[in-house]
Amino acid sequence: MTRFYKITLYIVAAAYSLLLSGCSSESDEPLMTDVEISITNEVNGQPLVLLDKTYTNPSGDTYVVHDLKYFMSNVKLINSRGEATYIEPDSYHLIDEQIGKRAFTLKNVKADTYTKLEFGLGVDAARNHSTDQYGDLDPSSTMVWDWDTGYKFLSLVGTYVANTKEGGLVFHIGGDTNYKTITVDLQQPLKIQSSSGNRIQIVTDLNGLFLEPNPIDFDEINTAMTGPAAAKIAENYSTGFFKQVTAN
């Protein structure tokens, strides 16, 4: 009887203590914090201005940008030991110049020293084959194809003047093969020591879409969706679009 009583008491006490500690972080647990990712889309070192500025691509053609949007997804932080110790769940972020949406927040990042950022440009095949989605994948955006189910991974719309042609510039890049996983080194490591001020700043260069490994001449390529032209631009964004990634 006494023994039974003791055991019961032990169970209740243990359960109570577990209950108290189970859902909240205690001081001996590692620090978990937010990391803000912000993006500046640039052309030749200057922040992108829609409509009012004329730019020159590496082939010497001029262009004006009406809108730029793209998806960054499956964001991971890789620590100094090369381990992807932070994997953002349900990770799909629409970067949208038209409405100035150029940042997102990674939640519950463990304190560590991170040296690389990994993400996908586009929407992975797991989500690209059905457009009844939520959040940034909500189909009410213009980043959805209704006639050929899927998402536009990157949309660059504007006008161009090339050597022999001029007109509308429409790059709607999509299709599973154009989903690219991109890993970039942080220029200095992100050392998370406190719960505020953890930021990663990404700078892109729009002309990187038109340079390497596939120079894009607007006389030849001024519209693209999923075919060979789109594949060329997708190869370019996997290497030359995200220019500089810094942390503080």
Q: Which is nearer to other proteins, 10 or 56 (CB)?
A: 10
Here the contacts of 60-64 (C-beta below 8 Å, separation 24 or greater) are: 60/163, 61/160, 61/161, 61/162, 61/163, 61/217, 61/218, 61/219, 62/160, 62/161, 63/158, 63/159, 63/160, 63/161, 63/169, 63/218, 64/158, 64/159, 64/160
Q: State the binding string over 145-184 for other proteins (x if CB under 8 A, else -).
A: -xxxxx----------------------------------
Query: Binding other proteins by CB under 8 A: which of 19, 45, 82, 89?
Result: 19
Token match 């022999």: residue?
164
Phi/psi for 14 (5° steps) reads -65, -45
Query: Binding other proteins by CB under 8 A: which of 1, 2, 22, 52?
Result: 22
How many chain residues interact with other proteins (CB under 8 A)?
A: 28
Q: Which is nearer to other proteins, 19 or 81 (CB)?
A: 19
Smallest Cα–Cα separation from 221: which of 172, 171, 175? 171
Here the contacts of 216-221 (C-beta below 8 Å, separation 24 or greater) are: 216/57, 216/59, 217/59, 217/61, 217/162, 218/57, 218/59, 218/61, 218/63, 218/160, 218/161, 218/162, 218/165, 218/169, 219/61, 219/162, 219/163, 219/164, 219/165
Binding to other proteins by residue 57, rule CB under 8 A?
no
Query: Binding other proteins by CB under 8 A: which of 23, 26, 89, 99?
Result: 23
Q: Which is nearer to other proteins, 42 or 67 (CB)?
A: 67
Structure tokens at 151: 């998402």
Q: State the binding string over 108-137 for other proteins (x if CB under 8 A, else -).
A: ---------------------xxxxxx---
Binding to other proteins by residue 139, rule CB under 8 A?
yes
The stretch near other proteins (CB under 8 A) out of 62-70, 111-119, 139-147, 235-243 is: 139-147
Q: How far apart are CB 60 and other proteins at their closest, in Å?
A: 29
Of 187-246, binders to other proteins (CB under 8 A) are: 226-227
Q: Which is nearer to other proteins, 186 or 224 (CB)?
A: 224
Binding to other proteins by residue 47, rule CB under 8 A?
no
DSSP secondary structure letters along 161-190: E-SS-EEEEEEEEESGGG-EEEEEEEEEEE
Binding to other proteins by residue 18, rule CB under 8 A?
yes
Structure tokens at 197: 């001020």
Binding to other proteins by residue 26, rule CB under 8 A?
no
Query: Binding other proteins by CB under 8 A: which of 29, 90, 138, 212?
Result: 138
Q: Under the rule (CB under 8 A), what is the footprint of other proteins?
A: 3, 7, 10-11, 14-16, 18-19, 22-23, 129-134, 138-140, 144, 146-150, 226-227
